[in-house]
Amino acid sequence: MAGQPNVDTAAEPRPADRAHPSPASVLAAEIKVLVGRGDRDAARDRFGALVALLQRRAVRIAFQYLRDAADADEAVQDAFIKVFLHIEQYRSDLPFDVWFTRILVNAALDRLKARARQQRWISHSIDEDEGRPVEQVAGSEASNERRMLAKERWGQVTQAVAGLPDRQRLVFTLCHLDEQSPAEISAATGMSQATVRVHLFRALRKLRGVLGGQA
């Protein structure tokens, strides 16, 4: 994700949500103030606490997109770096968790694109099965075929998710990848539960359309 993070601020939290900011939102607001004052050392110290707070959840979400632990870790690191570099763009009256999730998903999708480009250049000319018994080769080929089909299928899913409008992708990610309930998503985003359910319904309908009714 080149340039500045894509931040959608159209759906502002309700007043009750502003009165009870999440721990991540409180930390992010403090970091923003410290950066604005030019106190980078203190900002980095507080940012370490923010990373510790969000790391496990972030890795879980990234892994759902990438299906590779190393790639997920790198996507998470990319997201945290972008957050720190652009923390002054964060609106302290909005939930940081939502802002961060958008940046994280974009980082994961960017890494997926980079991996696809790399794989196109990988040579498949070496026959790893050469010289092995016929039965072993046949079993290996069947196993490899199943893995390739599963990988291809997940690639179709992530590509379809990447094509969703921002709010639908966000709600889908929070619900199905972060395992949050509509009530939790409503509290985090400021959308009503009815709006959350509408975005989720539309996201699933579009995914089923793209994936032939199998989403």
Residue owning tokens 């190393």: 70
The topology under which CATH files domain 15-118+149-210 is Rna Polymerase Sigma Factor; Chain: A (1.10.1740)
Least confident of 22-26, 73-77, 114-118, 133-137: 133-137
| Cα-to-chain-centroid distance, residue 102 | 7
If you average pLDDT over residues 149-175, what whole number do you get? 81
Over the chain, what HEC string results? CCCCCCCCCCCCCCHHHHHCCCHHHHHHHHHHHHHHHCCHHHHHHHHHHHHHHHHHHHHHHHHHHHCCHHHHHHHHHHHHHHHHHCHHHCCCCCCHHHHHHHHHHHHHHHHHHHHHHHHHHCCCCCCCCCCCCHHHHHHHHHHHHHHHHHHHHHHHHHHHHHCCCHHHHHHHHHHHHCCCCHHHHHHHHCCCHHHHHHHHHHHHHHHHHHCCCCC
Distance (Å, whole) CA 51 – CA 20: 21
Q: What's the maximum distance between 2 C-alpha atoms anywhere in the chain?
A: 70
If you average pLDDT over residues 174-187, what whole number do you get? 90
pTM of the model: 0.71
Which position has the higher pLDDT, 52 or 131?
52
Least confident of 20-24, 104-108, 112-116: 112-116
Token pair of 171 as six digits: 């709600």
Name the percent of the chain lying above pLDDT 70.
71
Using 50, 70 and 90 to split pLDDT, how confident is the model at 215? Answer: low
Is a pLDDT exceeding 50 seen at residue 10?
A: no
Tens digits of residue pLDDT in 38-80: 999 999 999 999 999 999 999 999 998 998 899 999 999 999 9
Question: Domain coordinates of the chain in residue numbers?
Answer: 15-118+149-210
